[in-house]
Structure 1
Amino acid sequence: MKNIIISLDSANKRRQHIENEFGKHHLSYEFFDALRPEQAAQYAKSLNLEDTSDLTPTELACMMSHVAVWEKIIAEQLDYVAIFEDDVFLGEDATELLTQTNWIQPDWNIIKIEAFSKKAYLSSKTYEVIPNKRKLAILEGKNLGAAGYILSLQGAKLFLDFILKQPAKPVDKMIFDEFIATQIEPVYQMLPALCEQEKILKKKQDNNSEVTLPSALSSERKLRRKQEKKKGFSKLQLEASRLIRNTKKHLLAKKIVFK
């Protein structure tokens, strides 16, 4: 298994975190220099990407950095690659699962190994990965976040083909929401999840915990969500819609934990 970490070449603190975290698990990896907004805009144009006007410059840079890794997988004909963002923490079985691929069945092309949403809609059927420890289920609804996932060569081709034909949105919404909705290919969720971003991990542990690896993307996303609310439903409609979604998820969705 090849492990690729998307990271700005100037993100020294985040890169040191990865060195420490992956070193703890005796894992080899390589950094992929994340694209900056001006590079991302040029790259998107070269790929004739659909309208990107709804994305902030940082969101576009994030999306195109992932796209560039998929293109690398295809160009180098890599069988399986685990793709991470540079603020992840790894779980107990990372060494076993991220150094070999013999646990991956031939038709498992997209495996999300990250915990992001507290709950998600999952298939009742599961697939054992490590007996009595880890399994996979098919995601039947969104589970955002793109900080940790495994792609086969075929999975990279499917993601690239999909994303180049859609109006551009944040990369995690496109691949772990809209792609899932198309049912083009099953997207599997690892249970328990094998990795989690620092901001999610600390939020679960203690709301007052300081995030030591902050992201510029978070502030831009908050601003965009505020703008979307102004354009869309009234505050009352938004609250009613949120309440219905949360109630349904509470009753029908299954918990995803990080371990």
Structure 2
Amino acid sequence: MQILIINLERSKERLAFQTQQFDDLGLSFQRLAAVSVDDIDDSQYQLLGFGWQRPLRKVEVACFLSHQKAWETVIKTNEPAFILEDDAVLSCHIPQLLEEIQNYNFKDIDLINFEVRSRKKIISKKPEYQLVAGQTALYNLYQDRTGAAGYLLYPSGAKKLLQRLAETSPAIADAFIFSHYGLKSLQAEPAAIIQEDQMVAYGLVPAEQFESVIGRSEHHKPIYSSAMEKRVFRKRRIIGQLAMGYRYMQVIFKAQKRFIRLDKAQF
């Protein structure tokens, strides 16, 4: 299975961390050069950064374009890819988990999410699949809100994401992915990936190891150029929230909204 790690040229420490992590796991990966804010000129930023529910920062546009490169790689190779951001920390059973999933040879799955990130998710009440590796259950994932640090994307899913991009504007990467309700997605539990900036919250380390360069969005306060622009974005956000509510109503009788469990002993 191809493994793609999105990494900025200047993030040498992150690449060294991933090299060591993958050596320890006995896996290899392909570095996918991340798009930098320096690669985005003002005209491209104006074109791409203002079509979502709030104005995107340049770093968020760059992050989105980096994930887009990964999706395009999946289409080009016509093979699923395990896509990681370079601050993703992996559980010890990832090699066995990927091998077991590969042997399953899923035909009707577009994406499998392995990450947990301090937010509740809407998943099926019962697992769709049970795996031996890490005693992992795969639930139908109906709605997620944050986290694109580690997911397995199949060619069918890459095609759906790129088709949607042809019809709409970029967003923050995780919001774009998980608001595509046409994706047939699964969620792994216990979570097999945690982003470095979440390790303190989950009690895995006493302090952070790296400075974040990807540009986290949870606490970003947008700046609007005018009251009119603010109203436009507010309307989009309301529409987005209504879509999320409608999605929940569609699956409410077969779904549950809860936190995904993480087993600290596996990290």
Both proteins in one fold, TM over 0.5: yes
Out of 138, 142, 145, which is 1:140 matched to? 142
The answer for the alignment partner of 1:193 in structure 2 is 191
Secondary structure of the residue aligned to 2:10 is: coil
CA distance in 1, matches of 2:41, 2:187: 31
Aligned to 2:206: 209
Q: Which residue of 2 aligns with 1:113?
A: 114
Alignment of 1:94-113 (within 5 A): 94-99=94-99, 101-113=102-114
Identify the residue that residue 31 of structure 1 maps to in structure 2. 31
**Counterpart of 2:137 in 1: which secondary structure?**
strand
Distance 1:155 1:57 in 2: 26
SS at match of 1:89: strand
Deviation string for 1:187-240 (max 9, x for gaps)? Answer: 21111111111111222217x933222213446x36742548x958xxxxxxxx
Separation in 2, partners of 1:256, 1:93 = 17
Distance 1:171 1:44, change over 3 A: farther
Map Cα deviations across residues 152-195 of structure 1 (whole Å, 9 max, x no partner): 1111111111133223211111112x21xxx3122211111111
Alpha-carbon separation, structure 1, partners of 2:2 and 2:43: 24
Query: Which of 191, 203, 221 does residue 225 from structure 1 map onto?
Result: 221
Structure 2 residue matching 1:73: 3-state secondary structure: helix
Aligned residues: 232
Q: Which residue of 1 aligns with 2:162?
A: 160
Q: Is the 8 A contact 2:129 2:139 kept in 1?
A: no
Alignment RMSD (CA, Å): 3.0
For the residue of structure 2 that corresponds to 1:20, the secondary structure is helix
**Gap change, CA 1:36 and 1:129, over 3 Å in 2:** same
CA shift, 1:95, in A, is 1.2
- After TM superposition, the structure 1 = structure 2 runs for residues 58-97 of structure 1, keeping only pairs within 5 Å, are 58-77=59-78, 79-97=79-97
Alpha-carbon distance in structure 1 between the residues aligned to 2:189 and 2:257: 14
CA shift in 2, pair 1:122/1:44, >3 Å: farther
Do residues 13 (structure 1) and 17 (structure 2) align?
no
- What is the SS of the residue equivalent to 2:81? strand
Q: 1:222 to 1:158 in 2, by over 3 A?
A: closer
Distance 1:106 1:137 in 2: 16
**Cα distance change on mapping 1:50 and 1:139 into 2, 3 Å:** farther
- SS of the equivalent of 2:82 reads strand
Sequence identity (%)? 24
Task: Extract unaligned runs of 5+ from structure 1.
Answer: 233-240, 246-251
Q: Tell me whether 116-125 or 1-10 shows the greater mean CA deviation.
A: 116-125
For the 8 Å contact 1:6–1:86, the answer to whether it is kept is yes
Tell me if structure 2 keeps the 8 A contact 1:110–1:188: yes
Aligned partner of 1:52 in structure 2 is 49
- Using structure 2 for the length normalisation, give the TM-score: 0.76
TM-score normalised by L of structure 1 = 0.79
Give CA deviations for 1:15-43 in whole Å, capped at 9, x if unaligned: 11101111111011111110112424599
Q: Cα–Cα, structure 1 residues 188 and 148, in superposed 2: closer, same or farther, change >3 Å? A: same
| 8 A contact 2:35–2:62 mirrored in 1 | yes
Equivalent residues of 2:56, 2:172 under 8 A apart: yes
- CA deviation map 1:62-88 (0-9, x unaligned): 0001101111221222x2100000111
CA distance in structure 2 between the partners assigned to 1:43 and 1:4 by the alignment: 29
Distance 1:222 1:118, change over 3 A: closer
Distance 2:218 2:110 in 1: 32
Q: Does the CA-based 8 Å contact 1:27-1:95 persist in structure 2?
A: yes
Please say if 1:254 is aligned against 2:251.
no
2:3 aligns with 3
**In structure 2, do the counterparts of structure 1 residues 59 and 65 end up closer, same or farther at CA, with 3 Å as the change threshold?**
same
